[in-house]
Structure 1
């Protein structure tokens, strides 16, 4: 075998090994992405990617709008000064008419700058956290993929709107799958915890009952074996019962959701100086994914001095939606029972004894 043929064979073998390793790595990556941890990492990475993209697309436009608004304000001042300097009008009606025309034009230009161009009301030399900073864009990305969509911050560039369509088209199904999976896992974990707590409570009640009837059992020794056997069989059945058959009461799910809303109420009341009703209203509208946008954290000029607040708000949204998904998973069995009973009551389904 010649040297060139050996070299070509080694090259072919190395390419085959490289391709085999790439296929193995790709399979492992796909399996990881569709696992519980992998899909969470995908959603987190997708939100961070969206924050970087939207920040790069929209933040220059936001800074440019501040400069344009400054030009509008300076032009209005010049027009007012020209009226006072060159228009010798001593009648109040004529002066009011001329100044009103200038102010109406200024009002129209400011309205266009706010609604169409996205001006946030800040000066051109503003040194704080902008709306489209990384944390602001992260909050926007989270509201897009969770279908909340406050509407207080929206892309103003054509490219930003096109990217939003593609971003939501991919991110919304991915987020829904992630929330459903996490909710299912948390519901199973909560069932295990609830089952252990109920079993401990039943054991304490059984021990109390046994102590109360010890005199009777001592006086009637023929019944001791029977009572012990029944208690033992009861505990064995409780221990061998499957977790998926455990039913968590509906009121427990409502208590969890209400507690989480109260936690957000306290949090946003302290951060935003809102009254408790306003903060609770915001938490409910957010967790229900209604997202009116009439009450939004950081909407005033003084808020969001720290970018950490936006990150914590994003985490609050994600954990809250996960909690809602878990509660829905816990209530599925109850909803099925109620639907079956209702169907039997109206005659759509046959009763078990029929």
Structure 2
């Protein structure tokens, strides 16, 4: 074989090994992305990517709007000075008619700048945190993929609106899958924790009330076996008992959600100029994904100039929706049992033994 043939064969072999390594890496990447940790990383990375994209698209438009509003204000001042300099209007009625037209035009221009162009009320020399900074865009991305959609921050450019459609089309199903998977895992963990706490509590209560000749260890009556040894009765947990047999009461789920809402109430009432009821109302509207937008954090220009607060708000939304998903997963068994009993009561299902 010639030297060129050997080189060609070696190059082909190296390409084959490279393709083989790439396929192996791609398979491992796909497996990781569809794992519990991988899908959480996907959602977090997707939200960060959206923050970078929307910030780059919308922040220049926001800065331009501040300059345009300043120009509108200067033109209005110039028109008022022109009226004062050139029109000798000494009657109140004539002066009011002349100035009112200027103020009406200024009012319409400001209204258009706020509603259509998205002016945030800040001056062009504003040095604080803008609405479309990275943290503000991150909060917007989270509200999009979680379908909350407050509406206080919306894209004003055509490209930004088009990207929002594509971003939501991919991000909403991804987020729903992530919340469902994480909620299921957390529900299993909470069942294990709840079962251990209940068993410890029942064992402590049993030890305080048992006689010296008997020992009791309470468990699920369906999964208990008894052993008699020298007139002593001991209840031993059966190996059949699994996590799926554990039933968490519905009131415990409601208490978890209420506690999380109270935590958000304290948090936002300290950060915002809200009374506790308004803060609690905002937390409930947020966690229920209603998202009216009538009460939104950061509406005041002075109380939300902190990137850490926006990031904390985004984390509060994500953890809260995960908690809601976990509680729904815990209540599924109770809903099925209630539905089965209701079906037996109305005659749709046969009772056991019939």
What range describes the TM-score normalised by the shorter chain of this pair? over 0.9
Could you say if the C-alpha distance between residues 131 and 91 of structure 1 is closer, same or farther in structure 2, counting changes exceeding 3 Å?
same
Match of 2:232 in 1: 228
Whether 1:304 and 2:304 are equivalent positions in the alignment is: yes
Show the 5 A alignment for 1:202-281.
202-211=202-211, 225=229, 228-229=232-233, 231-232=234-235, 235-237=236-238, 240-281=240-281
Task: Measure the CA separation in 1 of the matches of 2:26 and 2:231.
Answer: 61
| Structure 2 gaps, min length 5 | 215-226
Compare relative contact order (CA 8 Å, sep 6+) and give the higher one, 1 or 2. Answer: 1
Could you say if the C-alpha distance between residues 46 and 224 of structure 1 is closer, same or farther in structure 2, counting changes exceeding 3 Å?
closer
Shift of 1:208: 2.4
Task: Measure the CA separation in 1 of the matches of 2:200 and 2:230.
Answer: 23
> In the TM superposition, what whole-angstrom CA distance separates every residue of 1:278-299 from its partner, at most 9, and x where no partner exists?
1000000000000011111111
Task: Measure the CA separation in 1 of the matches of 2:320 and 2:333.
Answer: 22
Task: Measure the CA separation in 1 of the matches of 2:72 and 2:350.
Answer: 74
Shift of 1:153: 0.3
Whether 1:197 and 2:194 are equivalent positions in the alignment is: no
Task: Measure the CA separation in 2 of the matches of 1:131 and 1:107.
Answer: 23
Shift of 1:48: 0.3
Q: What is the DSSP-based 3-state SS (H/G/I as helix, E as strand, rest coil) of the residue aligned with 2:210?
A: helix
Contact residue 180 and residue 325 of structure 2 kept, 8 A: yes
Task: Measure the CA separation in 1 of the matches of 2:145 and 2:88.
Answer: 59
> In the TM superposition, what whole-angstrom CA distance separates every residue of 1:184-220 from its partner, at most 9, and x where no partner exists?
0000000000000111112122222323777xxxxxx
Shift of 1:350: 1.6
Number of residue pairs matched by the alignment: 342
Contact residue 264 and residue 280 of structure 2 kept, 8 A: yes
Shift of 1:274: 1.2
Could you say if the C-alpha distance between residues 294 and 14 of structure 1 is closer, same or farther in structure 2, counting changes exceeding 3 Å?
same
Match of 1:334 in 2: 334
Task: Measure the CA separation in 1 of the matches of 2:263 and 2:331.
Answer: 22
Match of 1:15 in 2: 15
> In the TM superposition, what whole-angstrom CA distance separates every residue of 1:102-121 from its partner, at most 9, and x where no partner exists?
11111111010000000000
Task: Measure the CA separation in 2 of the matches of 1:37 and 1:63.
Answer: 38
TM-score w.r.t. structure 2 length? 0.94
Show the 5 A alignment for 1:1-354.
1-211=1-211, 225=229, 228-229=232-233, 231-232=234-235, 235-237=236-238, 240-354=240-354
> In the TM superposition, what whole-angstrom CA distance separates every residue of 1:39-58 from its partner, at most 9, and x where no partner exists?
00000000000000000000
Shift of 1:227: 6.0
Task: Measure the CA separation in 2 of the matches of 1:342 and 1:260.
Answer: 32
Shift of 1:240: 4.2
Match of 1:220 in 2: none
Q: What is the DSSP-based 3-state SS (H/G/I as helix, E as strand, rest coil) of the residue aligned with 1:298?
A: coil
Q: What is the DSSP-based 3-state SS (H/G/I as helix, E as strand, rest coil) of the residue aligned with 2:71?
A: helix
Shift of 1:303: 1.9
Task: Measure the CA separation in 1 of the matches of 2:250 and 2:55.
Answer: 42
> In the TM superposition, what whole-angstrom CA distance separates every residue of 1:59-85 from its partner, at most 9, and x where no partner exists?
000000000000100011111111111
Task: Measure the CA separation in 2 of the matches of 1:98 and 1:227.
Answer: 106
> In the TM superposition, what whole-angstrom CA distance separates every residue of 1:22-54 from its partner, at most 9, and x where no partner exists?
000000000000000100000000000000000
Q: What is the DSSP-based 3-state SS (H/G/I as helix, E as strand, rest coil) of the residue aligned with 2:327?
A: helix
Structure 1 residue ranges, 4+ long, deviating more than 2 angstroms after superposition: 211-214, 223-229
Could you say if the C-alpha distance between residues 240 and 224 of structure 1 is closer, same or farther in structure 2, counting changes exceeding 3 Å?
closer
Could you say if the C-alpha distance between residues 138 and 227 of structure 1 is closer, same or farther in structure 2, counting changes exceeding 3 Å?
farther
Q: What is the DSSP-based 3-state SS (H/G/I as helix, E as strand, rest coil) of the residue aligned with 2:237?
A: helix
Task: Measure the CA separation in 2 of the matches of 1:202 and 1:270.
Answer: 40
